[in-house]
């Protein structure tokens, strides 16, 4: 059998083809590294991490290279669209629900080709909805900070007001103690605090917040060394963590709280709390 193979192709041909294949592979990897560097400089420069500069979403194999190539192109395009939308600050106006819907749409590959015309058209469509998106996001924050059910853990706290947002509120399940010292935000509350910071910043006329100056990041840094019952200060509020996972919030800008109440509050509802909400604070 070995003799038959050598008759069909000589040792010289084998060595030549292997050498050319190795050269192609080396050049391909150089091109891939160049592509990664280019994406890092373009999509990763303003991000807290470099995930948008990755070429693949998961590990790859050479079993089906055309499919892998297509998947890589789609993954890069998705990250580019996400970067453009985040860079323009559109998501800061969106509720957490709308952001999740947009993320699911992007993950499903439902986005147009990345061209200047398509980007401008998409952003124009978003900017035309900014007023509505801001109202929705403000309403989401307003509803989150008010206990809709007076018998819930939040509703039983007399600091919280059911019909409007007070200047002081208590948020249950907002923080968790670290193993060594300090606290961190509950994973499920991070997006809520991020939205709160964005809404206050937008109502303040400063535009959306950006990392590392967003409320979640500010609180995360302050909580790392905080003790139970010790205030953590940020520009818009102070937060006091407790071992029972409650966080006491004291809003520093009463004018922004008033704006939020005026934007989202229902004038037909009483502005004070009735006897049903006069229970003791926890």
3-state SS record for 127-149:
HCCHHHHHHHHHHHHHHHHCCCC
pLDDT of res. 175:
95
Q: pLDDT tens digits for 131-188? A: 888 889 899 999 888 876 555 555 455 667 777 899 999 998 999 999 888 999 998 8
pTM reported for the whole predicted model: 0.66
Burial state string for 201-221 with b = 16 or more CB within 10 A and e = fewer than 16 = bbbeeeebbbeeebbbbbbbe
Cα 233 to Cα 189, 240, 250: the distances in Å are: 18, 9, 10
pLDDT cut 70: percent of the chain above it: 84
**Per-residue DSSP letters for the chain?**
-HHHHHHHS-HHHHHHHHHHHHHHHHHHHHHHHHHHHHHHHHHSTTSSSSGGG-S-SS---STTHHHHHHHHHHHHHHHHHHHHHHHTTGGGGS-HHHHHHHHHHHHTT------HHHHHHHHHHHHTTHHHHHHHHHHHHHHHHS-SSTTSTTTT-TTS-SSS--SEEEETT-EEE-SSSSEEE-GGGHHHHHHHHHHHHHHTTS----TTSSHHHHHHHHHTTPPTT--EE-SSEEEEE-TTS-EEEEES-HHHHHHHHHHH--TTS-SS--GGG-PPP-
Q: pLDDT tens digits for 89-144? A: 788 788 888 888 998 999 898 988 889 899 888 888 887 887 888 889 899 999 88
């Amino acid at each position: 059998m070995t003799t038959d193979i050598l008759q069909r192709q000589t040792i010289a041909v084998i060595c030549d083809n292997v050498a050319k294949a190795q050269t192609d592979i080396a050049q391909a990897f150089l091109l891939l590294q160049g592509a990664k560097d280019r994406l890092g400089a373009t999509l990763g420069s303003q991000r807290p991490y470099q995930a948008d500069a990755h070429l693949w979403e998961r590990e790859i194999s050479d079993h089906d290279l055309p499919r892998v190539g297509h998947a890589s192109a789609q993954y890069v395009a998705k990250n580019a669209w996400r970067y453009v939308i985040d860079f323009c600050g559109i998501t800061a106006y969106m509720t957490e629900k709308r952001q999740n819907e947009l993320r699911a749409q992007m993950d499903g590959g439902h986005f147009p080709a990345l061209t200047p015309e398509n980007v401008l058209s998409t952003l124009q469509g978003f900017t035309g909805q900014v007023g509505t998106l801001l109202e929705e996001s403000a309403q989401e924050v307003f509803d989150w900070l008010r206990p809709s059910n007076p018998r819930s853990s939040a509703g039983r706290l007399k600091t919280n007001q059911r019909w409007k947002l007070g200047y002081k509120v208590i948020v249950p399940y907002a923080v968790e103690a670290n193993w060594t010292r300090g606290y961190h935000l509950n994973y499920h509350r991070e997006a809520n605090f991020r939205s709160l910071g964005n809404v206050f910043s937008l109502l303040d006329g400063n535009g959306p917040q950006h990392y590392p100056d967003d409320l979640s990041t500010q609180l995360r840094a302050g909580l790392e060394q905080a003790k139970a019952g010790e205030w953590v200060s940020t520009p818009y509020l102070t937060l006091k963590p407790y071992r029972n996972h409650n966080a006491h919030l004291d809003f520093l800008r009463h004018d922004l709280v008033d704006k939020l109440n005026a934007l989202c509050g229902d004038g037909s509802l009483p502005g004070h709390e009735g006897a049903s909400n006069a229970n003791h604070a926890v």
